[in-house]
Chain A
């Protein structure tokens, strides 16, 4: 393999987005397309506590972190999640990725209160992969459409504007009709101004079994990065804190080489873009960010 075709090393320009694997790999759903094989029984990664998160929030001030993101697993299985998000809103904007199935009104009332006292937005990104039970449930599991929709209705009742994120499990040419169907369904369920984000599938974890794994040529090469805006790659400006250390990005936590160190400082080192998922991130860009901060 020539140098031009070797996997390029990517350096972080600045830690803009600090992610927390706050829900570990524990999830109440077992989605067929999950990129990290989360399930009720996968405890490879555990919950982060309020103390764990507070420690890193303090550390993040000197690093000039712009935004905070929380993912899992399902973050709302973590008993500390409401105090964690409330504490974060004193430092900066917080985004939590959830399937919305276990949300409780008391938690949402507390979070609405915390957001109202903060300068910053609290964003909910709710995963839903079809506009009906018939299209969603074969991917995310029995009755998950209805459970997630009830969660979305709860969020809307508390005046949140959740960003519904759907993994593109259909051909890209169908994007318009699919997003129209999502919007119509959400409006019919009382969400008057639905926000929507489409994600590409990542052919790792459970999804590698559902469709197909990446081929040997689905890789980023040094040549491909020539003239390319590297800021669209998540690892150019993000790291993720887990209970097992700091990883390069939230997608690759099941890859041993993605563990970069025990601290944020240690994890500020280059990463070789050797993975198929790096290729998806390269092709589609900004896959983990909110539309308000596209890169």
Chain B
């Protein structure tokens, strides 16, 4: 197994101060209908910037449809493992599954996504940075895909110790670390007012029996720094119909229609698995 390409170039945005709200979108997985609905919600609430933490393709239909939305709305995107794979036409998605059935379904999505992503969009994916740093009112915010040290590291709530997260904030000189990659949102306050946030995913529901998906608004003010998870309802029946028309697996369509994961389950730790149905 080869190491995922490490695009460590980080972009830095100029310091902001006062009361700042940043929309953070997690894995989109080709769910352009959820992305569209999230962007409407973001604009209605009003934010200072919109970021997407990577994994634009996979799972859903018509991968090319997410790109114009992200670009028209000025969303700053990071390169997830999926984007590295699609951009560079690698053999697989580098999601980090070890179970043969998980890998079988992951490969079906990956082959479909690679075949249906334009050369122009693949070239754009190759230009995305792996990480991004912001100075927000003196707080050092670090955005990444999996973890600051590895693009496809799973940081699950029930398998990530607090002192490990504190070490990451020390090692990477950050007060707030934001990631995605696992598909389930959570956050933890750390010592010294620091914080880790998994911003969740727009691409598929959070294995909770609800069809809506999630994004995150990070709110930074002189006296506060916290994350709010925002549910997004969208036309999931339409997405399911389009997935069926594209002959994507019934297992994926069932997830969109029920809110329960049906594949890539073996990667879940006990607590997260117990909350699901399959």
Residues of A within 8 A of B (CB): 14, 16, 60-67, 91-93, 115, 119-123, 159-161, 175-176, 179, 193, 195-197, 227-229, 231-232, 285-286, 290-295
Interface pair B273/A161, CB less than 8 Å apart: yes
Q: State the main secondary structure of chain A at its contact with B.
A: loop
Interface residues of B in 224-278 (CB under 8 A from A): 265-274, 278
Interface pair A64/B98, CB less than 8 Å apart: no
Most buried by A among B3, B150, B166: B3
Interface pair B163/A290, CB less than 8 Å apart: no
Question: With A66-B164, A119-B158, A232-B1 as given contacts, are A291 and B99 in contact (CB-CB < 8 Å)?
Answer: yes
Q: How far is the CA of A196 from the CA of B159 in the complex (A)?
A: 18
Residue B154, interface by CB 8 Å: yes
Question: With A64-B167, A93-B161, A292-B154 as given contacts, are A176 and B100 in contact (CB-CB < 8 Å)?
Answer: yes
B248 to chain A, nearest CB (A): 23
Q: Which residues of the partner chain A approach B270 to less than 8 Å between Cβ atoms? A: 121-123, 160-161
- Of A14, A121, A286, which is within 8 A of B98 by CB? A286
Interface pair B159/A293, CB less than 8 Å apart: yes
Interface pair A292/B267, CB less than 8 Å apart: yes
B264 to chain A, nearest CB (A): 10
B56 to chain A, nearest CB (A): 23
Q: Interface code B160-204, partner A: CB below 8 Å = 1, 0 otherwise?
A: 111110111000000000000000000010000000000000000
Question: With A61-B163, A65-B164 as given contacts, are A293 and B100 in contact (CB-CB < 8 Å)?
Answer: no
Question: With A160-B270, A195-B266, A291-B99 as given contacts, are A65 and B158 in contact (CB-CB < 8 Å)?
Answer: no
- Of A64, A159, A179, which is within 8 A of B166 by CB? A64
Interface pair B163/A93, CB less than 8 Å apart: no
Q: Interface code B1-37, partner A: CB below 8 Å = 1, 0 otherwise?
A: 1110000000000000000000000000000000000
Interface pair B96/A294, CB less than 8 Å apart: yes
- Of A16, A197, A229, which is within 8 A of B3 by CB? A229
Q: Which residues of the partner chain B approach A121 to less than 8 Å between Cβ atoms? A: 158-159, 269-272
Counting from the closest, the 4 A-B pairs by CB-CB distance are: A64-B167, A92-B161, A121-B158, A121-B270
B263 to chain A, nearest CB (A): 13
Considering the complex, give the chain B residue whose CB is closest to the CB of A179. Answer: B100
Q: Which residues of the partner chain A approach B278 to less than 8 Å between Cβ atoms? A: 193
Q: Which residues of the partner chain B approach A93 to less than 8 Å between Cβ atoms? A: 158-161, 269
Residue B156, interface by CB 8 Å: yes
Interface pair B166/A292, CB less than 8 Å apart: no
Question: With A228-B1, A294-B96 as given contacts, are A123 and B160 in contact (CB-CB < 8 Å)?
Answer: no
CB<8 Å pairs between A and B, sample of 27:
A60-B163, A61-B163, A64-B167, A64-B168, A66-B160, A67-B161, A92-B162, A93-B160, A93-B161, A93-B269, A115-B271, A119-B188, A121-B269, A122-B270, A123-B270, A161-B270, A161-B273, A196-B99, A227-B3, A290-B269, A291-B267, A292-B268, A292-B269, A293-B159, A294-B96, A294-B154, A295-B96
Q: A64-B164, A120-B271, A193-B278 are in contact. List 16 more A-B contacts (CB 8 A).
A: A60-B163, A61-B163, A92-B160, A92-B162, A92-B163, A93-B161, A123-B269, A193-B273, A196-B266, A232-B1, A291-B98, A291-B99, A292-B269, A294-B96, A294-B97, A294-B154
B98 to chain A, nearest CB (A): 5
Q: Which residues of the partner chain B approach A65 to less than 8 Å between Cβ atoms? A: 161, 163-164
Q: How far is the CA of A93 from the CA of B150 in the complex (A)?
A: 20
- Of B1, B164, B271, B274, which is within 8 A of A92 by CB? B164
A157 to chain B, nearest CB (A): 14
Q: Which residues of the partner chain B approach A159 to less than 8 Å between Cβ atoms? A: 274
